[in-house]
Amino acid sequence: MEDTKTAYNCLNCNRPETVIPLVNMRYAGKQSWICSQCLPVLIHHPHQLAGKLAGMDKVEPVPPDES
């Protein structure tokens, strides 16, 4: 029997789960994976993921804490 396991990669840096831990996320009804090192890009600079994740060019970054 052939192994049909799907390989998951970070949507930003494209590193596989065999190299770095990945976090599963859902956006616009689709599942994606991002690594812990690229997570700050998703939070603070989501526009950098435009073209890698549909609709990210419209997502605003989290505003800085003004406390």
For 6-40, how does the pLDDT look when each residue is reduced to its tens digit (9 = 90+)?
Answer: 889 999 999 999 999 999 999 888 999 999 999 99
Mean pLDDT to the nearest integer, 37-57: 88
Q: What angle do CA 20, 21, 23 make, to 5 degrees?
A: 135
pLDDT for the residue 40 = 93
Confidence (pTM): 0.75
